[in-house]
Structure 1
Amino acid sequence: MRRLFILLLLVLSCSSKDTLPDITVKDIEGREVKLSDYKGKKTVIYVWSRTCAGHTEDLKKLSRLVNEYPDYRIISYAVAMDIKDVQQSYQQIGIKPNFITLIDPSVKFNDYFPITFLPSTYLFDSKGKLIASYAGLPEHL
């Protein structure tokens, strides 16, 4: 019994701080989704907020990345904003996104992956494990 308990503790301590977390956010249409639901395909998460420098051009590039990296799921992940803020930002930039947009007004993402720079980009493998992170949007993934 003790071995089972120790094994369970090891499994719990090694899990989920480096994988897509099971947090609930909203998509651009206001539907609730779990970030962990995006496991199963390599994923790029571009984290941004309206107040960060450089996000305008990066968001325009995300549409291009969808075509350049068809094996990846491209996600625009807006923090500290609500749906109307994100829609207004897209309208001001003049884009109609062909990528997934998720909104995290409470910045729950930061509890799992501390955001030290906005915008930032996080790459996950198909199992949802973090494989790299970058300040801004990298030129090459």
Structure 2
Amino acid sequence: MKRGITLRIKSIVIFLLFAGLIGLAFYTAMDKKEEKPTEVKKEENTGLERGSIAPNFSLKTLDGKQVDLKDYRGKKIIVNFWATWCPPCREEMPEMERFYKDYKNQDVEILAVNLEYSEPNTEKVSKFVQEYKLSFPIPLDEKNTIGKQYRAVSIPTSYFIDEKGMVSTSHIGPMDYKFMKNEINKMNR
């Protein structure tokens, strides 16, 4: 008799597990049908490799303006990821400012994306910008979403993007004036 009860209990447990799995499969299928399509359309050939369209991003700058990468199409762009505490970033900033002043009227833009999530506060970023007298836009990546998307693990990391929005090259480490000039001029060929 004990064996019969044990067998019935096992049968009931197996039946309940099987019913639960069917219910879960049905629930998952119904849940997927109700999902709304995402509003963000990914452009074809988007990526970080040379010749790929650079992934678009939208960030607020230090002065509160909205910056969208796609709005800079028609210009050559240097997207630079940096932080105030980074010695190589400090090293390249005067070079970037000098380059920007010389090339901004030649359809060249620098977007220096501050990895704000790694900063103690925004005030430190403001003081840094004032100290180095930076005049190019400083978008703030508060949650490191763009830094991750652009694989900015080591900083500074920079991407050179042509007028069509395509990645020309990337660079890890500090840049000097001559390097930036050479990379921008390569885009003319």
TM-score normalised to structure 1 length:
0.76
Instruction: Tell me which residue corresponds to 1:132.
Output: 169
Counterparts of 1:56-67 in structure 2, within 5 Å, are 56-67=90-101
Q: Does 1:35 align with 2:69?
A: yes
Deviation digits for residues 15-56 of structure 1 (CA, Å, limit 9, x no counterpart): 322433332211121122223222220001221012322211
Unaligned runs of 5+ residues in structure 1 are 1-11
Q: 1:95 to 1:50 in 2, by over 3 A?
A: closer
Counterparts of 1:61-140 in structure 2, within 5 Å, are 61-70=95-104, 71=106, 72-79=108-115, 80=117, 81=119, 83-91=122-130, 94-139=131-176, 140=179
Cα-Cα RMSD: 2.2
Unaligned runs of 5+ residues in structure 2 are 1-41, 181-189
- Please tell me whether Structure 1 or Structure 2 has the larger radius of gyration of its CA atoms: 2
Q: Does 1:16 align with 2:53?
A: no
Question: What secondary structure is seen at the aligned counterpart in 1 of 2:99?
Answer: helix
Identity of aligned residues (%): 22
Question: What secondary structure is seen at the aligned counterpart in 2 of 1:46?
Answer: strand
Q: Give the Å deviation of 1:123.
A: 0.4
Higher strand share: 1
Q: Give the Å deviation of 1:65.
A: 0.6
Number of aligned positions between the proteins: 128
Q: 1:122 to 1:22 in 2, by over 3 A?
A: closer
Question: What secondary structure is seen at the aligned counterpart in 2 of 1:99?
Answer: coil
> Aligned partners of 1:127, 1:84: CA distance in 2, in Å?
35
What stretches of structure 1 move > 6 A for 4+ residues in a row? none
TM-score normalised to structure 2 length:
0.59
